[in-house]
Structure 1
Amino acid sequence: MIRQPAVAGSFYPADPKQLSAMISRFLDEVKPVTKAPKAIIVPHAGYIYSGPIAASAYARLKGAAYQINRVVLIGPSHRVGFSGLAISHAGSFATPLGNIELDQENRGKILDLPFVGYLDQAHELEHSLEVQLPFLQQILGSFRLLPIVAGDASAEQVCQVLEKVWDGPETLIVISSDLSHYHSYAEAQKLDKKTTDYIQALQYEKLDYDSACGRVGVGGLLAYARKHHLQVKNVDLRNSGDTAGDKFRVVGYGAYVID
């Protein structure tokens, strides 16, 4: 079974050449950084809005692309309500840039957790994971993917998943999340700065739905970072008013890395 793209042509171009060219433009605008992150937090809106911010984290992977062959991707559910964390029966996920094979080995590692289960409906139309895939394909080329949609779950449960799949430099952890939604430009800047301070301080308990729609995945990464004495660093913090939208009602976007 192949999970087909749900938002190609709306969140990002459906034409492969246009899509690749757009991602390249975003990546080329980022100042080169030699050290590659082990884990990143990136936004998941339409590319014209959040693509430049996501690229601020993805561009840092260029130097490690040769060694990364597994990606664990966690994002929130926007359309289906459920408890726990949802994995997919699919054998691969498709984008305009090609098919990505799913990581059956890592999928098997987390299936023994009581809050992890198959729920294909959660994946079918979910954009929070899908919009990350062309960036990953552009940077990494070939890799195996473990896609996880987070429902009503805790940071501690996500942390348990990460304990099983963190592995070595061959594995990249990607957490998909936007920040504040539909505030004025000035209010969003204030709220997103506060959220960023919490993220960098690993204070995941202070995050709520208004802080970040992907707070479950973000919280899980922060819980793991706190447990293993890792640091999270913000590398970009903007909103839709800075990229392609008006400044009256904006959505906040942040890019964060664990090196």
Structure 2
Amino acid sequence: MNRAPAVAGSFYPADAAVLSHMLRDLLDRPADGPAPKAIIVPHAGYIYSGPIAASAYARLASARDRISRVVLIGPSHRVAFRGLAVSSAEIFSTPLGGIAVDHSAIALLQHLPFVGYLDQAHALEHSLEVHLPFLQQTLSDFKLVPLVAGDASPHQVSQVLDILWGGKETLIVISSDLSHYHDYATAQKLDRRTSDSIESLNYQALDSEAACGKVPVAGLLKLAKEKSLSIKTIDLRNSGDTAGDKYRVVGYGAYVVE
């Protein structure tokens, strides 16, 4: 069976028991508000961005047995290509087990000329794999629609999301960090400005300096605007707040569409 490995090592522990314990600690917080339809969450190592991502994942508690499909889109860090890449793998693996890929959902996208199979884009892409253990810890039984975004327009991403939007059984997860390698005070200002743009659904204001996942984030914002939905910031910090120094930080935000 074609199986795609997940990224451990510097991103999260490779030992299942240690990883599960870490996730339980991160998710041990009140699940304020209803379960979101879509979330934007960061994808750095768990010691850096895990607490911020957990603020969104904790809200899935009430939908644990309801969500059966997760559409996960993250930016490509290693492979340059146009459009969006799907995977031919049948299973995505983490130390917590395997997740079946929803190829019936992927088939719904095959008429789009900018969506295609590109396994190289998935092979070492942490922007997706970092989220898989969080999903395994918070949901009961689900299939995965993994997409890596290359050079794609907000319209293209929003088309994909609209096709896969579904109902209460479907969760949309957008993977993105915010600013990179500024000093603490500068990062706070830049990330607050980016969060204001996200909350106002101003996808045209985003650039790659504001968010490494600008492409999938912009697509979600465009579709949310068309559907008259709102996005709320629930956590906004950086690596200087979690596990790093304050001289060169990376920004992280968690956002929910309810």
- Match of 2:60, SS state, is helix
- Match of 1:54, SS state, is helix
State the Cα distance separating 1:251 from its structure 2 match: 0.1
Distance 1:127 1:32 in 2: 26
- Match of 2:158, SS state, is helix
- Segments of structure 2 that go 5 or more residues without pairing to the other structure are none
Contact 2:65/2:141 (8 A) holds in 1: no
- Match of 1:110, SS state, is coil
Please name the residue that 1:170 is paired with: 169
The answer on 1:135 being equivalent to 2:170 is: no
State the Cα distance separating 1:33 from its structure 2 match: 1.6
Distance 1:198 1:34 in 2: 22
Please name the residue that 1:2 is paired with: 3
Please name the residue that 1:88 is paired with: 87
- Match of 2:228, SS state, is coil
Distance 1:205 1:32 in 2: 32
What is the Cα-based RMSD across aligned positions, in Å? 0.6
Q: Find runs of 4+ consecutive structure 1 residues off by over 6 angstroms.
A: none
**1:5-56 superposed Cα distances (whole Å, 9 cap, x missing partner):** 2x2122000000100110111111x332241000000000000000000000
The answer on 1:180 being equivalent to 2:179 is: yes
**Residue type of the alignment partner of 1:220:** G
Please name the residue that 1:19 is paired with: 19
Contact 1:75/1:176 (8 A) holds in 2: yes
**Equivalences, count:** 257
Contact 1:34/1:63 (8 A) holds in 2: no
Contact 1:69/1:142 (8 A) holds in 2: yes
Please name the residue that 1:117 is paired with: 116
Contact 1:77/1:149 (8 A) holds in 2: yes
- Segments of structure 1 that go 5 or more residues without pairing to the other structure are none
The answer on 1:195 being equivalent to 2:194 is: yes
Please name the residue that 1:214 is paired with: 213
**Residue type of the alignment partner of 1:9:** G
**1:33-89 superposed Cα distances (whole Å, 9 cap, x missing partner):** 241000000000000000000000000000111100000000000000000000001
Identity %: 65
**Residue type of the alignment partner of 2:231:** V
Please name the residue that 1:74 is paired with: 73
The answer on 1:50 being equivalent to 2:53 is: no
Distance 1:40 1:197 in 2: 16
Distance 2:5 2:219 in 1: 28
